[in-house]
Every structure is written in C-alpha cells, then in structure tokens.
Amino acid sequence: MNEVRRTALADYLRVRRAALRPEEVGLAPGRRRRTPGLRREEVALLSNVGVTWYTWLEQGRDINPSPEILAALARALRLDDAGAEYLYRLAGCAPPSAEPPRRTVPETLTRLMHAQSPAPALIVDAAWDLHGWNTAAEALYRYTDFAPADRNAAWVFFASPRIRAETVTWERHARRIVGELREGFARDVDGRVEALLLRLRNGFPEAAGWLDEHEVTHRGAGITAVVEHPAAGELHLDQIVLRSAEAPGLDLVVKLPVPGTGTAGRLRGLVAAQEAVA
C-alpha cells in the first residue's frame, strides 16, 4: 500500500469504528465513554488481532493485513458488501469478484447502447470516463459541451450548471456518486479515480465534505431520478447498470423511462429535436 491508501484505510477504520455502539456488536456499554463508538481494543478483540497491531493499522503504518484478517475486521465493524469490498481494495487485496479493467469498447456494446433510445444510455469505465453515449444522453446531459478531457460522468454531474438546476434533489444524487467513487477508489489500479477524487475535492466544497464522511456505495443500480427539463418537461428515469462478460471494466448505464409518467414520449420528442439539429 502506498501512503495515500494507508491513510484512506486508517481513516475508514476510525470512522466505521466510531459509528458502532457496543450493544450492536454484543458488548456491554460499560462506563461512560469519552468518545462515541467502539474502542480500539474492542475492535481488536472482535477481530482476534492484537491491540497494538490494530492501533498501528489505524495510524496508517506500513503493514499488510491478510485477507483473513480483513474478513475478520469487516465482520467486527459490521460492514455491508460495499464496505467490505472497499476495505479489501484499500488494503491491496482483490475480493473474489475482481475483474481486469478494459477500455476498448466492443462494437456490439456500442450497438446495444444506441438500441436503448429513447432511453439515455452511456458507457463508462471504472473511473467514470465516458466511452460513448447515445443521442438521448447528449440531449439530456450535453456531454459535447465539455472538452474531451472533462468528459467524465461524475465530473460533468458536478460541473454542469444545467444538470444541477434540472436534477430534482441533485444533492442526494451527488452524495451517492461520491460514495460510489469511494468504492471505485479502493479498486483503482492506475490512479485515475484518485485523481478524480482530488479534482472534485479541490473544485467543489460540498464534494470535499462528503468525501470526509467516508460513505461507500455500490455503483448505482436501482436508482430513480427526476429531471425537470426546460423543453421536454418532467422526466422520471430508473437507472440500471449492465455489465458484459465481453467487456469487463466497462458499464452500460441506462436511464429507463418510468412507465405511466409520460417520460417515454417526452424523451422521443427530445431525441427528435436533438437529431434535427445534429
């Protein structure tokens, strides 16, 4: 682990430890506590590791926990699947579902993306860099307004005044994106997610605050967003994320119109208007 990852791992352990109450892990509350959460010795006891060793881990020292110890820490800290995978990745251990990254987009995946119309669809990699998007996505998000180097789905979501203004409860979705990027940071093999997080931290105060909360979220399936588009009207979109065995490391993100909301018809009109000016 390099220093950045050791620091991130130490911060994550401290934050998750502070979020637990003794009774949540089967321990007696005991005497009045000066700080919230579990004590280091309690986490060490629950994980069956030495207190000194665990303290060094929280201090960001250069030690390498084994997968078995990481599993014990995840259980002790009551981490969910996303949190446990994040812990493994920070420590430099790939969880069982690890895949090699891929950035070359198969032609079949591109065709599948365009076939989603009138639903907006885009192809992103592990660092959220855009590798393609269909006409509906362009009409909704205006990716071509950004320089090629800035065409990153997370960066555009923060940097676009239009998206901020038109996305209902933008802050809720932006916080989720930060949590998803934290998960991606743990599996970051080439430093691109780390660079994106630093750029977001420096560019947007709210992103800096949310990053310090160390919340971790799996990449966004099962999400419904509402967009108030100035021309098309109110759009209700269910997000699904598709991964292909043919293209590990790339995701097809589709924003499906919610049935019964009139969104599909409004999207068809939006696509027709976009094609007319293309």
pTM of the prediction? 0.70
Checking if the pLDDT of 230 tops 70, the result is yes
Give me the phi and psi of 211, to 5 degrees please.
-60, -35
CA angle centred on 223, ends 71 and 118, rounded to 5°: 135
Any idea what DSSP says for residue 190? S
Average pLDDT of the chain to the nearest whole number: 90
pLDDT digits (tens, 9 = 90+) for 17-65: 999 988 888 777 766 677 778 999 999 999 989 999 999 999 999 988 9
**What are 139's two structure tokens?**
């009409």
Domains of the chain: 3-90 (1.10.260.40), 107-277 (3.30.450.180)
Least confident span in 33-37, 66-70, 125-129, 208-212: 33-37
**What are 233's two structure tokens?**
């009207």
Q: Position of tokens 């895949």? A: 99
